[in-house]
Amino acid sequence: MDEDVKPKWIVEDGCLIIGRVTYHHELSCTNDQTKVKGGGYWHIDKENKILHLYGESTTYSYCKSEDIMECVRAGKVGTWANEEQFRDYYIYATRASSLEVHMMEYNRHLEKTA
């Protein structure tokens, strides 16, 4: 696999779209930047059914948590081919700059809610 290809996501036109791409704009279905609310990187914990979203897109910047939750409530989360793919997943999003920092924030969240 090309080492420039990374797990990235965007919110576009009410849909949370994830994929493995080099550039965030490659995830766009419309190529209309005005319809993209932001993006970042993702990590999947299949065992615990958690989709971790973190960071920011250098093209589209951060995404508001409200925009992400709107997609989740509407059931519009997944890859181009399969919006049902993450229907049963818990989605945890932060603006953390790396997966390591994001996971530290997630663990603090778990401690607070335990």
Exposure letters 23-48 (e unless 16+ CB within 10 A, then b): ebbebbeeeeeeebbbbbbbeeeeee
Give residue 24's pLDDT band: very low, low, confident or very high (50, 70, 90): very high
Task: Using DSSP, state whether 108 is helix, strand or coil.
Answer: helix
Q: Is there a domain that residue 108 lies in?
A: yes
Q: Is there a domain that residue 36 lies in?
A: yes
Residue 33's domain comprises: 6-113
Give residue 8's pLDDT band: very low, low, confident or very high (50, 70, 90): very high
* Domain total in the chain: 1
pLDDT reported for residue 88: 84
Prediction pTM value:
0.88
Q: Is there a domain that residue 91 lies in?
A: yes
Residue pLDDT, tens place only, 81-98: 565 677 788 999 999 999
> Domain containing 20 — which CATH number?
3.50.20
